[in-house]
A and B are shown apart, each in its own frame.
Chain A
Amino acid sequence: MIAEIGHYALTLAFFVALAQTAVPLYGAARRDRALMAFAGPAASAQFLLIAISFGALTHAYLTSDFSVANVAENSHSLKPLLYKISGVWGNHEGSMLFWVLILALFGFAVAAFGSQLPDSLKARVISIQGMIGLAFLAFILLTSNPFERLDPAPLDGRDLNPLLQDPGLAFHPPMLYVGYVGFSLAFSFAMAALIEGKVDPAWARWVRPWTLGAWTFLTAGITLGSWWAYYELGWGGWWFWDPVENASFMPWLAGTALLHSAIVVEKRDALKAWTILLAIVTFSLSLMGTFLVRSGILTSVHAFAVDPERGLFILGILIVAVGGSLTLFAVRAPALKASGLFAPVSREGGLVLNNLILSVATATVFIGTLYPLFLDAMTGDKVSVGAPFFNATFVPVMIPLLVLLALGPLLPWKRGNLRVAVEKLWVSALFTVVVAGGILVLSDEAPLAPVLGFGFAAWVAGGVVTELAERIRLFRIPVGESLRRLVKLPGAAYGMSLAHIGIAIFICGATGETNWTRELVVVAKPGDSMTLGQYELVLDDLSRIQGPNYYSDTATLSVTKNGEPFAVLDPERRLYPVQQMPTTEAAIRSGIAGDLYVAIGEGNAADGIIVRVWVKPLVPWIWAGAMIMVLGGLFSLSDRRLRVGAPKRSAKRPGGPAVAEGAD
């Protein structure tokens, strides 16, 4: 019964979405206040209905109602509670339902917090949001009904793919979806602005916090996914340039560009058409990610749907959304007049360069990801494009951005002086030389990559500190006064510094892991010992343990570092009998200097088991850096000038030196 309520609510949500699309759009065209006012309640009703539907599916999972086909195929009565909940979105149908839930949530958020928005803009934004919802609700109802019943109901379910039964992965999809789908709002705002024919700083003030919020969640989601791959797959890698990873990385890159270009619209009333285009591109890449991941055209753990009908349906949505929005852009964008004039050497000039570089970087990832699909479709040749391609293209493209990253924030708006800005960076340059030189001296082999990696990290970090010091006029006014300034800095200023310093920390982690990892693979029997670097590991014991829905062969290794007791590690190999699927559970000892990572392979006590040991310097810095970027996003969101729902220009805006003004 509850499943039927869920299905009914979903169907009803489809018709509400239909009205939500049509009525406010028509009302805005007719300037009819009553019809425009329909948008808010419709968005709320749609959110409520989809929430009911989602609740119904969650209920079916929690009660292990195997008469619902979706639950029977993806759950099991013995599965721990957390994975019963995460199982709701750990399958194709449920994940699409979750997708529209988030979409409706964003529509509802505009309705709830958008009282300051002009009526027609608000009506149109909610209408476009409804239109996207309409397409995906049709997709779910026609091809992927999560509430289909099974008769007779099986006694027990087929369980969730064991790789997905993991706390990191329980939260990876929701985060990622909030990010992906959050960009829908930037898209809706862009469409609405094109229809209105008006883009102004107030519009950018609206778009920025939403984009920033989506970006923050997407960053967190990608990080969780990377962390999961690192510890769960047992290969010790954290980023594989897998097409599915790229599918989430492309919207991130474009979204990062969008964040920066929206600043220029807000501050300088320029770059309007470009920002609109970026909003379209960013959400289109999100849609394409959904298509790539969900259509099954890629071989991956994410490819639930192998039904070609579903792939075609999402492809159809993608084509209509991209084609429609670009057509609207082509027709209306010339009407958007740029008023802000600017010099190439200025803050906005730097942000334009930032956008160009990020766009080119997105393009290289796009080509590398889609070329194999394209070639297969055209010639039938099968190729794969792996990490070496991306290392040879993406990395060199991004290097100029790192150089610019220290410089750009030091340039004032309107017109800057390159020499003045460069001179401010002398401490930073000195720091870079010291760090790079230190790496050069400390390393054994020809260390070009680590020297460059840590050198750029030092340059970026130095730039961030310099910019912060400039802002608080450190050493030019009494230190106490500087500290007072520091405390009073706006959230957005902290946000920028944190996000940029996060990049520096991330680069350190990535460079350390890539260049200094050491690996040992041996076959060991209980009692054997092995040595890697400063670590000595002794395999004490091998035992079989029974988990809630799996068996586990657990090895116990005691580790000493330089002769001192260091840790006891217990890597596992699990077998999930329901799906007949083995998984590797690595044992990792993390520290600020890096990880000791141990995984075991097949074998038994008599013949020995394969033990793989890695020493991976600085790995935690990868996630620490990414999480600091997330923190930066949150700080920036907390800035009262950016607070959602109150995007009014504060009275004292103009005046004061631009550098001290903040917000970027």
Chain B
Amino acid sequence: MTPKRRRLSIVLIGLTMLGAAAALVLTAFEENLVFFFSPTELQAKEIAPDRRIRVGGLVQENSVASFENGLRTEFTVTDLEHSVKVVYRGQLPDLFREGQGVVAEGKFEGGVFNASEVLAKHDENYMPREVADALKKSGRWQHATEKQ
């Protein structure tokens, strides 16, 4: 095999693999891309019931209630403009608190957001970026940071 043909075959194998990987990536994106919405954005949008999404904002004060001895938690996520009720089964992260930033991932089932995962911020001074942006969009960023 001449060097030229050898190089060509390597390039062809490479391109085939890149193509296969691109197909994989695109399919995976289709199924697994999780969009983030603020409660205000959810007012305007229709979310398909089996679509996984993330909702983020602040945990509304006095909204956290626990059931079944703490195994199921219900709370309200708010961007201080609109709010969404979230139901979560499982252990909440260490830094989950009322009035603090939170991101919940899950699906809407019968008008309630069923979270399968709840993420809180990693430390005291840090707000999840998506939540900060959502609050900025709802025009309540200043208000929220003052409250902390």
Contact = CB atoms under 8 A, between A and B. Distances in A.
Interface of A: 161, 163, 234, 297-301, 303, 306, 338, 341-344, 352-353, 356-357, 359-360, 363-364, 367-368, 371, 381-386, 388-389, 392-393, 396-397, 521-523, 573, 579-584, 599, 601-603, 607-608, 610, 612
B94 A344 contact: no
B95 A582 contact: yes
B92 interface: yes
A581 B123 contact: yes
B122 A300 contact: yes
25 contacts: A161-B123, A299-B128, A299-B129, A301-B123, A363-B18, A363-B21, A364-B21, A364-B25, A382-B35, A382-B36, A382-B54, A385-B29, A386-B34, A388-B31, A392-B28, A393-B24, A523-B68, A523-B69, A579-B124, A581-B124, A582-B94, A601-B91, A601-B92, A602-B70, A608-B70
Contacts of B111: none
Contacts, number: 124
B24 to A, nearest CB: 5
Contact of A389 (B18, B32, B128): B32
Given A382-B36, A523-B69, A353 B13 contact: yes
A389 B122 contact: no
Given A299-B129, A581-B124, 20 more contacts: A163-B122, A163-B123, A297-B129, A299-B121, A299-B122, A342-B6, A344-B1, A356-B17, A367-B25, A384-B36, A385-B32, A386-B32, A386-B34, A392-B24, A392-B27, A396-B24, A521-B71, A521-B90, A523-B71, A608-B70
A506 B129 CA distance: 34
Contacts of B10: 352, 356
From B105, B121, B123, residue with most partner A Cβ within 10 Å: B123
B94 A583 contact: yes
A608 B69 contact: yes
Contact of B28 (A388, A607, A608): A388
A357 B17 contact: yes
Range, interface on chain B: 35 or more
Contacts of A299: 121-122, 126, 128-130
- Top 7 A-B pairs, shortest CB-CB distance: A382-B36, A523-B69, A392-B28, A389-B32, A388-B32, A582-B94, A301-B122
A300 B130 CA distance: 12
A392 B32 contact: yes
Contacts of B129: 297-299
Contact of B34 (A306, A341, A363, A383): A383
A397 B27 CA distance: 14
Contacts of A610: 69-71, 91
Given A299-B128, A300-B122, A343-B1, A356 B14 contact: yes
B110 interface: no
Given A352-B10, A608-B69, A385 B33 contact: yes
Interface string B122-148: 111010111001000000000000000
A371 to B, nearest CB: 8
B137 to A, nearest CB: 9
Contact of A612 (B1, B91, B122): B91
Contacts of A612: 91
User: Chain A contact residues: over half helix, strand or loop, or mixed?
Assistant: mixed
A162 to B, nearest CB: 9
From A393, A397, A573, residue with most partner B Cβ within 10 Å: A393
B116 to A, nearest CB: 11
A385 B54 CA distance: 11
B13 A356 contact: yes
Interface string B19-59: 01100110111011111110000000000000000100000
B91 A521 contact: yes
Nearest to B132: A299
A389 B29 contact: yes
B91 to A, nearest CB: 5
Contacts of B33: 383, 385, 389
Contacts of A364: 21, 24-25
Contacts of A338: 3
B16 to A, nearest CB: 9
A402 B24 CA distance: 18
B9 interface: yes
A608 B66 CA distance: 13
Contacts of B13: 353, 356
Contacts of B1: 343-344
B70 A523 contact: yes
A584 B120 CA distance: 14
Contacts of B32: 385-386, 388-389, 392
Contacts of A381: 35-36
Nearest to A298: B129
A393 to B, nearest CB: 5
B55 to A, nearest CB: 11
Contacts of B34: 383-386
Contacts of A234: 94
Given A301-B122, A579-B124, A610-B91, A382 B3 contact: no
Nearest to B15: A356
Nearest to B9: A344
Nearest to A575: B94
A306 B34 CA distance: 25
Interface in B77-129: 90-92, 94-95, 105, 121-124, 126, 128-129
A330 to B, nearest CB: 17
Contacts of B95: 581-582
Contacts of B126: 299, 303, 306
From B1, B28, B54, B129, residue with most partner A Cβ within 10 Å: B28
A636 to B, nearest CB: 26
A163 B37 CA distance: 29
Nearest to A380: B133
A297 B133 CA distance: 12
Contacts of B123: 161, 163, 301, 579, 581
Contacts of B121: 299
A581 B124 CA distance: 7
B77 to A, nearest CB: 15
A368 to B, nearest CB: 8
